[in-house]
Amino acid sequence: MNWYKICQQYRPAPIVITSYNQAGELGISFNGGPTYTYYNVSPYWEERIRKLLRYRNYKEVNKVLKNFSDKEKQRNMTNNLS
């Protein structure tokens, strides 16, 4: 393994889930900064975000989180699950 791949392994992730509770509150930290809370996040989306983070697909996680910050798109996301 070369030095570049070794350095990538120890670099902190740019997006991290800090908390999730049964009320649907998802805590996210960007680049080790302050924690932002997203409300009314279903367990499906929490698990989906965790899976995307596991595969280091930060671009797709950012798209999902952007939809949660936009109230109209969030309503559409919850309606599509029903």
The sign of the torsion formed by the CA atoms of 55, 5, 8, 63 equals negative
Tell me if residue 29 falls in helix, strand or coil.
strand
Burial of 41 (0-12, 13-18, 19+ CB in 10 A): buried
Q: What is the pLDDT of residue 49?
A: 96
* pLDDT of the residue at 67: 87
Which pLDDT score, from 0 to 100, does residue 19 have?
A: 94
Residues contacting residue 72 through CB under 8 Å, at least 6 positions apart: none
Length of the chain: 82
Bridge pairing between strands 15-20 and 26-30: antiparallel
Q: Per-residue confidence of the chain (82 residues) as pLDDT tens digits?
A: 666 666 666 667 788 999 999 888 999 998 888 899 998 899 999 999 999 999 888 899 999 998 887 665 555 555 555 4
pTM, two decimals, is 0.73
